[in-house]
Structure 1
Amino acid sequence: MGGFTLNDILATRKPRDSWWTVFMVDPLACRLALLVANHTSITPNGLTRLSMLIGFASAAAFAEGMLVAGAALFYLSFTIDCMDGKIARLKGTGTPFGLWLDYVGDRLRVVCCAFGLGFGEYSRTGDADVVLAAVGVVVLDLFRYINGPQLKRVKDATRALVEARLDGQCVLAESVLRGRPRAELGQAAAEFGQVADETGATVVDLQKAFHARFPWYDRFRVFLVRRRVRTHVMSGIEFHAAVFVVAPLLGPAALVPVSAVAGALLLAFEMSLVYRVWLASRQVPSSAAEREKILV
């Protein structure tokens, strides 16, 4: 039905993604997406619905104590979930409703699998800790999706305030790096400066205090970017993989400790994001005369 190649599919991958997706899912998802694109007429929304159904089957398997089957089905569900965006970008068939469906499908899969796992194990063992772990997984997942948009609002407000106080004669370091993601900040700023001299714009770094405290971070970011991995090293995707794939494969005794460790790491990462945004908000100059403190 189509003449797409694997290179066409690879070109639809996100420029940066979670390390679990890059190394553990995309090698399979890209090849399955190639088969779907060339030999079926299934739509991205159809793939999302299929992913949801397999996610529900994973929850049912967990509830019946079939942990290995549940883990395999959860992995397959997530793999198909990674395919819908690739097909949408490849064929230009994505829809705004598809964004909503994908988001809701992810949340339903997590809730159903968490309680299928928790209450299924509780019914067999009577151990209330697995139920508490299931509730914790759901709460942390929802917190992550609430925290992200709120942090973005704070970041946008901080950027707008900086631009207003510097009369717009500045470019944020994040914007410079977006166009030169594989360069370290100093190099990217120098390259940009050569172009921006005529306009008088300067590069300001709202993360200057953070970089001063953690000078290794920029090199670490470049290391990950060159491997198509984002700096969210413990995002929701890795959290879900630990709880619903790794822990069940290790056996019932691993469910609570793996969930607890993964949850603690996720929470620590979310708090690090809050810390960075807080540091950036403190960097806002009260006037153009104070802009030196955030210049690159």
Structure 2
Amino acid sequence: MLGSMRTYSLDDVHETRKRRDSWWTVYFVDPVACRVALPIANRTRLTPNGLTVLSLVLGAVSAACFATNQLVAGACVFYLSFMIDCVDGKIARLKGTGTPFGLWLDYVGDRVRVVLCAGGLAYGQYALTGEVVYVVLGAAVAVLDLFRYVNAPQMKRVREIIREERQEDEPDPLGPDPLETDHQPVRRSGFSRFFRRLNRFLARHRVRSHLVSGIEFHAAVFVIAPLAGAWALIPLAAASGALLLANEVFLVYRLWIFTCRHGAGSAQESREHVLV
């Protein structure tokens, strides 16, 4: 019976937000997602997996809108799809109903949505203009997104292997910059002091220090650019893609620095672990 379900408050939902998230999510999605999650948690029996499937269906609808050159409708539905995708995580954390399969479904659903929408956007604009550049654009968006989500777990795996071998608790190469810690006396440049203050400011507002992530990339390509008009698709996709790629290169560079600091004592063993 629904009447026997626990009643949650908006504060309860707010507690399920990530400690730090993308600025797009913090400012443009969470305020809506939290209010949508509240009645879903209190008045329905919708599961996180059910919401993930709904998000994927909406993503397919968005792709169809893009394919028929309904850019504004596609952007609005994509935003709704992403917002529902945020709601499923909040419901899972709120009720403790998350599952490993749900994690997989959410991960794969995100990738499928991006591929469908990139393909729909490319097809719609190519059919309208005959310009091959839109086909290249769709392929580039899909490849860059897939690279970002393949790269992240591999970097995490390398980091974990090194820590297991060294049995040391070292700073996370994907977290705060080593210059931001107080574990060792270092002379900070004006830039590093500025970055440290900026990072603290962002942390107070739950915003990650990596300001251009996959989420901002998706927002630029599938929400902001379509709302602005077809003229904005190529420049915004190119600019946001370049910033995302620069962020990924920066993360790989920090991972390289992290591995160099630990030497090459078990290089062969690490290589075998990573490649298996």
Task: Give the TM-score, by structure 1 length.
Answer: 0.80
Corresponding residue for residue 218 of structure 1: 196
**Match 1:132 to one of 130, 136, 143:** 136
Runs of 5+ unmatched residues, structure 2:
266-276
- In structure 2, the CA distance between the partners of 1:286 and 1:139, relative to structure 1 (3 Å rule), is closer
C-alpha distance in 1, partners of 2:105/2:159? 27
**Match 1:272 to one of 235, 250, 255:** 250
Report the CA distance between 1:130 and its aligned residue. Answer: 1.0
Runs of 5+ unmatched residues, structure 1:
179-183, 190-203, 288-296
C-alpha distance in 2, partners of 1:153/1:4? 37
Q: Is the 8 A contact 1:158 1:280 kept in 2?
A: no
Q: Deviations over 1:251-291 (max 9, x none)?
A: 0111111111111000000000011111122222689xxxx
Corresponding residue for residue 199 of structure 1: none
Is 1:233 matched with 2:211?
A: yes
Corresponding residue for residue 270 of structure 2: none
The letter for the 2-side match of 1:24 is F
C-alpha distance in 1, partners of 2:82/2:162? 35
Corresponding residue SS for 1:172: coil
Q: Which runs of 4+ in 1 moved over 4 A?
A: 211-214
**Match 1:6 to one of 3, 10, 19:** 10
Report the CA distance between 1:157 and its aligned residue. Answer: 3.0
Report the CA distance between 1:95 and its aligned residue. Answer: 1.4
The letter for the 1-side match of 2:223 is V
Q: Deviations over 1:175-226 (max 9, x none)?
A: 9x99xxxxx522xx4xxxxxxxxxxxxxx79xx89x7796233333222111
**Match 2:181 to one of 181, 185, 207:** 185
Q: Deviations over 1:73-103 (max 9, x none)?
A: 0000000000001101111111111111101
Structure with bigger gyration radius: 1
**Match 1:122 to one of 120, 126, 142:** 126
C-alpha distance in 2, partners of 1:246/1:57? 18
Task: Give the TM-score, by structure 2 length.
Answer: 0.86
Query: How large is the RMSD of aligned CA atoms in angstroms?
Result: 2.4
**Match 2:232 to one of 238, 246, 254:** 254
The letter for the 1-side match of 2:181 is L
Matched pairs, number:
256
The letter for the 1-side match of 2:9 is T
The letter for the 1-side match of 2:31 is P
Identity in percent: 55
C-alpha distance in 2, partners of 1:212/1:159? 29
Corresponding residue for residue 95 of structure 1: 99
Is 1:243 matched with 2:241?
A: no
